[in-house]
Amino acid sequence: MEYSDSERNLLEKIGLRLREARIAKNDTQEEFSARIGVSRNILGKMEKGDPSVAFGRWLKAASCLGLLETFANCFEQEADPFEVFDLQQSRVADLRKTRVRKGVAKQ
């Protein structure tokens, strides 16, 4: 599979961030690779941003480093502002329909 320059650059940045996070936790490649269940060779590929590494391995590494939330939000799309506005207006209209005046009892 061909990867564009921007895709390769992003993979390299992610690999570098993984390496930096591992080092910040004072883990060697041997220790960390054992914790995430991969060989040291695979971890080396991950830290270089090799696209052949399975996504599940990235998730396990992120989890071990306490960074799983970074993946949880990566495909989150922004809400359409028009849909948000329409929903808010609908809620306001519903509230106006159900509003009861003080002192007036329902029968």
Q: Which residue has the tokens 């570098």?
A: 16
Please report whether residue 27 resides in a domain. Answer: yes
Count of structural domains within the chain: 1
Please report whether residue 11 resides in a domain. Answer: yes
pLDDT at 96 over 70: yes
C-alpha to C-alpha distance for 86 and 37, rounded to whole angstroms: 48
Please report whether residue 106 resides in a domain. Answer: no
Q: Is 2 helix (H, G, I), strand (E, B) or coil?
A: coil
Per DSSP, 51 falls in state T
C-alpha to C-alpha distance for 63 and 35, rounded to whole angstroms: 11
Domain extent at residue 39:
1-100
- Chain-centre distance of CA 21, in angstroms? 16
> 11 with 48: CB under 8 angstroms?
no
Please report whether residue 48 resides in a domain. Answer: yes
CATH number at residue 94: 1.10.260.40
C-alpha to C-alpha distance for 13 and 10, rounded to whole angstroms: 5
Q: What is the CA radius of gyration of the chain?
A: 24
Share of the chain above pLDDT 90, in %: 60
What does the pLDDT look like over 51-85, one tens digit per residue? 999 999 999 999 999 988 887 777 777 888 888 88
C-alpha to C-alpha distance for 26 and 28, rounded to whole angstroms: 7
Please give the model's pTM, rounded to 2 decimal places: 0.68
